[in-house]
Amino acid sequence: MNTKREDIRNIAIIAHVDHGKTTLVDELLKQSGIFRTNESVKERMMDSNDLERERGITILSKNTAINYKDTKINIIDTPGHADFGGEVERVLKMVSGVILVVDAFEGPMPQTKFVLKKALELQLPVIVAINKIDRPEARPEKVIDEVLDLFIELDASEEQIEFPVVFTSAKEGTSSIDMSKQEDNMEPLFESIIKHTPAPDVDAEGDLQVLISTIDYNEYLGRIGIGKVERGNIKTNQDAIIVNKEEESKNKKIRITKLYEFEGLSRVEVKEAKAGSIIAIAGVEDISIGDTICSIDNPEPLSFVTISEPTISMVFSVNNGPFAGREGKFVTSRQLRERLFKELHTDVSLKVEETESADSFIVSGRGELHLSILIETMRRQGYEFMVSKPKVLFKTVENKKYEPMERVTIDVPEEFMGSVIEKLGTRKGEMVNMVPSEGGYTRLEFSIPARGLIGYRSEFMTDTKGNGIMNSIFDGYEPFKGDIPTRSRGSLVSSEQGTSVTYGMYHVQDRGNLFIHPGVEVYEGMIVGMNSKTQDIDLNVCKKKHLTSMRASGSEEALRLVPPIIFSLEEALEFIEDDELVEITPENIRLRKKILDKTERKRANRK
């Protein structure tokens, strides 16, 4: 028999990237009295890994819990980026309501639409938090209208359209129901959560069912399954069985050894948890997302969100260049293989396949950001390896080739509109919408093949002099759009191994843009610059000046070098062609040709 658990609320916070949801969770934690008064608390506590903190984005969903008056509020902070959309869908299965955070100036953005659509499909009630209300250019009234339009566009039900609105400034720690006056605490938001989020409706007497929605990993505890107790009670030392609706052969008996609930940012060990609670289970070896933990007498698996398919793939391989093994701690194919397969434990949208060569693996993911974050994480952990140019994954439907499409939203000052429209046109982008927005900006929407966006971001920044904002989101598959012209300029390739010298670099810099400073170690086949013409050129940047009795060696100090272009990881991936690779080590990102020897390279090109 179902009863409501009034002492608990399970809620997810959803938003477009950078609209302030992680900062909002910080404030809720601080104001719920979870920290001692003298405890120092860092900003954006929920973004726990370095990459999340540096980029200011949430990659993995995080669980936390707050006690407000007599109610425990379980809060899940979700990623805003579409590349981590798989995370968002699964998390929403654990909650009975969502807070949609919208920036009071920017209004709804592409990911706002994406995450909101998922929440509405699951019939979840929504509380709208208009955040950053303290921004001087905030326009809350218009933003509420835009949010309402978005609900209507997404076919929200009548109950969903009657959403409550709370005005917040997560940075100042204030909130209110009334737009004109902020209260100096988060009470109005807490009260709205209690009032508008339904208490979990559960069958406490039934047989046990826990659906695992996310996986965490810990050196001491191994894999940790996180999910909601859908039915019954779970106790430590209880025998249970794992079942999976997709893989029916996967039945396995287990014993629950360690059980945790969330308190603030930490996990607290408990002996028992009742239906409606969000829990973490440790000590079960190969537990994975989508598994249901059931009582032995009645193993009924719960159905699960299908995980979005990968749209882009890259080849990861062992570094075989002349500098291999100098900078990295983990360099062998066995170490690379173990690391990639370990990533599959926690990242469900990732796919790793072995190839005919033991040294290479095909890694597929949800987008460039998804894969570049994996590469950057591995690099920081001491791995050294090489990756190929990202390739888009095509589908064949009734003997026709289909490709992944992206919906791109661009906010750009009017003076740069022409070049953006022209560039995206050549990349097979179609303009779907154009609206003037605040402050002399125009919002453009395009539908474009995913491969048309590879390599465009850095160009976009140059074309708009850094003033444009670009957001993209996966938009289904459409028939192949035809060929897209790629990079028109060739590479400048080092013909020698040695150290780059000012003299040698000065004499080749008029051939194009260099990527290195003097005093950098280079090898034959390494890309040291971009040619101003279309073909590749081999050149010697290590060439020294011959000394004669007439000239002193000091006279070369007058040689002026143009500052080099230094690529970030994403820019390097966007720059390379099919016959080139990016070599990644903890200390350096180098670009190189697949075939290093220039004679062999010429022979291969002739073929």
This prediction has a pTM of 0.71
Q: Look-up: residue for tokens 């453009």?
A: 444
Which tokens sit at 39? 């405890």
Residue at 387 is within a domain = no
pLDDT score, position 109: 73
Residues 6+ apart with CB under 8 A from 180: none
Q: Is residue 271 part of a domain?
A: yes
Q: Which of 390, 398, 363, 370 lies closest to 450 in space, CA to CA?
A: 390
Q: So what's the pLDDT on residue 59?
A: 38
Rg (CA), the chain: 27
Q: Is 133 annotated as a binding residue?
A: yes
Do 512 and 472 share a domain, yes or no?
Answer: no
Among residues 345, 346, 359, the alpha carbon closest in space to that of 315 is found at 359
Please list, in sequence order, all residues whose beta carbon lies within 8 angstroms of the beta carbon of residue 335, skipping any fewer than 6 positions away: 383
| Same domain flag for 195 and 209 | no
Q: Which of 440, 450, 452, 526 is nearest to 483 (CA)?
A: 452
Is 134 flagged in the annotation as binding? yes
Same domain, 40 and 144: yes
- Are 134 and 30 in the same domain? yes
The number of C-alpha atoms within 13 Å of 343 and in the hemisphere containing its C-beta is 21
pLDDT digits (tens, 9 = 90+) for 346-389: 777 789 999 999 999 999 987 777 788 889 889 988 999 999 99
* In-domain check, residue 378: no
Strand partners for 103: 131
Beta strand ranges found along 250-321 (DSSP E)? 252-255, 258-263, 266-269, 272-273, 278-282, 291-294, 312-318
19 is in an annotated binding site: yes
- Phi/psi region, residue 237 (left: phi>0; alpha: psi -120 to 50; beta: rest), is left
Helix residue spans in 101-211 (DSSP H)? 110-121, 140-153, 158-161, 187-196
Any binding-site annotation on 11? no
Q: Do 442 and 522 belong to one domain?
A: no
Residue 47 covered by a domain: yes
Alpha carbon distance, N-terminus to C-terminus of the chain:
73
CA torsion, ordered 544, 549, 550, 553, to nearest 10 deg? 40
Residues 146 and 216 in one domain: no
Same domain, 91 and 118: yes
- Could you tell me the CATH number of the domain that includes residue 262? 2.40.30.10
Helix (H), strand (E), coil (C) string for 566-595: CCCHHHHHHHCCCCEEEEECCCCEEEEECC
The per-residue pLDDT for 86 is: 56
Enter the tokens of residue 231: 């039915």
220 found inside a domain: yes
Q: Is 85 flagged in the annotation as binding?
A: no
Domain region containing 251: 202-294
- In the structure encoding, which two tokens stand for residue 238, read together? 């209880």
Structure tokens at 222: 């191994």
Q: How many domains does the chain have?
A: 4
Angle at which helices 456-463 and 417-426 pack, to 10 degrees?
160
Give CA–CA dist 435/445, Å, rounded. Answer: 9
Q: Say if residue 27 is in the same domain as residue 149.
A: yes
Contact at 8 Å (CB) between 593 and 527?
A: yes
Instruction: Output the CA–CA distances (angstroms, integers) from residue 326 to 94, 223, 329, 387, 566, in the order listed.
Output: 46, 33, 9, 18, 21
Residue 388 is predicted with a pLDDT of 94
Q: Crossing angle of helices 140-153/110-121, nearest 10°?
A: 50
Task: Count the residues in the chain.
Answer: 607
Q: Are residues 29 and 134 in the same domain?
A: yes
Residue range 2-14, pLDDT digits in tens: 777 778 888 888 8
Closest of 172, 81, 96, 159 to residue 133, by C-alpha: 172
Instruction: Verify that 449 and 497 share a domain, yes or no.
Output: no
Which of 176, 199, 222 is the C-terminal boundary of a domain? 199
Residue with tokens 């080739």: 401
Q: Is 20 annotated as a binding residue?
A: yes
Residue 70 counted as an annotated binding residue = no
Residue 228: inside a domain: yes
Residue 233, annotated ligand binder? Answer: no
Question: Which segments of the chain have a pLDDT < 70?
Answer: 17-19, 21, 32-62, 79-87, 110-111, 218-219, 245-249, 265, 305-308, 438-439, 458, 547-557
Q: Are 107 and 42 in contact (CB under 8 A)?
A: no
346: in domain: no
Task: For residue 594, tell me if it sits in a domain.
Answer: yes
- Strand 491-494 and strand 537-539: the pairing is parallel
End-of-domain residue from the set 261, 294, 327: 294
**Do 134 and 99 fall into the same domain?**
yes
CATH code, 475: 3.30.70.240
Judge if 542 and 581 occupy the same domain: yes
- Domain stop point among 453, 479, 505: 479
Cβ within 8 Å of residue 170, ≥6 positions away: 20, 21, 23, 24, 26, 27, 131, 132
